[in-house]
Amino acid sequence: MKQTMRITKKLETLQESIGLHFKNVELLENAFVHRSYHNENRDFLLPSNEKLEFLGDSVLSLVTSVHLYTTYPEYKEGDYTDIKAAIVNTTSLYEAAKPLGLGDYLYLSKGEQENNGRENVSILADCFEALIGAIYLEHGFDTAYTFIKTFLFRDVLDTIVQKRLYLPAKNILQEHYQDKYKKLPTYKVLSESGPEHNKTYLVGVFDNEQKLGEGSGKSKKQGEEEAARSALQKLGI
């Protein structure tokens, strides 16, 4: 009960930060109930935030699609897909959640708290989506749109578009090598691990015999993308 009262009171600070006030404070509170909390508090009345997260994910997808369609009409459908993937991902949602201090409001099990759950990338990203779901239910689509535009897109989306950061890392590395060296890097599978139905591939990207980077994935394609990303970081691109 003490934790409930403490978090409910702290939610006033969050509402001030985002410029939105909830008549249904329990709805807002629900956005912060991680499923682990119920393992130790089975009589806790609010459900986990998973349903709100599901709703928020759908709202976020629609908002992003509408925003791209209306703001960047000159782009093609394939570009929209790549840009959307670059802005609506776990890392971006985590980066949006951090400045709002969403981790401070979470209901977590003791185990999750001890495991640094309030800083967990996936938990905070999911919480941000759950918050979007709560805002949509309380205030409607237009307000959810404004919230996402303010706290997720900000200057980040324009930067992604202008610098073409939405392109896969493999494409960016390829363009760099074509422009600078008039050739392409090559990819090699360095090792495979795991059972046949669930393999992990370690892939390296090379300039002749010089290894530029390496990465792993559940497919060769994913491994190549991670290797290219590693190479870009080392090259400072």
Active site residues: 57, 129
Distance CA 218, CA 200 (A): 5
User: Mapped to the 3 state alphabet, what secondary structure does the chain carry?
Assistant: CHHHHHHHHHHHHHHHHHCCCCCCHHHHHHCCECCCHHHHCCCCCCCCCHHHHHHHHHHHHHHHHHHHHHHCCCCCHHHHHHHHHHHCCHHHHHHHHCCCCHHHHCECCHHHHHCCHHHCHHHHHHHHHHHHHHHHHHHCHHHHHHHHHHHHHCCHHHHHHHCCCCCCHHHHHHHHHHHHHCCCCEEEEEEEECCHHHCEEEEEEEECCEEEEEEEECCHHHHHHHHHHHHHHHHCC
